[in-house]
Homo-oligomer: A and B are copies of this chain.
Amino acid sequence: MSTTPLSPTDRTTLHRNRTRARTERSALYEILDDGLICHLGVVVDGSPRVIPTGYGRIDDTLYVHGSTGAASLRAAPSQEICVTVTHLDGIVLARSLFHHSVNYRSAVVYGVPRTVTDPDEKLAGLRAVTERLAPGQWKTARRPTPKEMAATSVLALSLEEASVKMRQGGPLDDDEDYALDVWAGVLPVHRTFGEPVPDPRLRPGIPVPPHIADRA
**A residues adjacent to B (C-beta < 8 A):** 11, 15-16, 36-37, 39-44, 46-52, 54, 67, 69-71, 79-84, 86, 88, 90-91, 93-98, 100, 102, 104, 106, 108, 110, 126, 130, 133-134, 137-138, 140-145, 148, 152, 170-171, 177-203, 206-209, 212, 215
Contact = CB atoms under 8 A, between A and B. Distances in A.
A194 B199 contact: no
Given A39-B41, A91-B133, A97-B142, 8 more contacts: A39-B39, A40-B50, A93-B141, A141-B182, A181-B206, A183-B208, A187-B194, A191-B191
Oligomer: number of copies: 2
Contact of A197 (B16, B94, B170, B200): B170
Contact of A134 (B49, B93, B212): B93
Among A67, A86, A179, residue most surrounded by chain B Cβ atoms (within 10 Å): A86
What is the interface of chain A mostly: helix, strand, loop, or mixed? mixed
Nearest to A49: B82
Closest 8 CB pairs of A and B: A188-B194, A41-B48, A41-B50, A39-B39, A96-B142, A50-B84, A52-B86, A184-B199
Among A141, A145, A148, residue most surrounded by chain B Cβ atoms (within 10 Å): A141
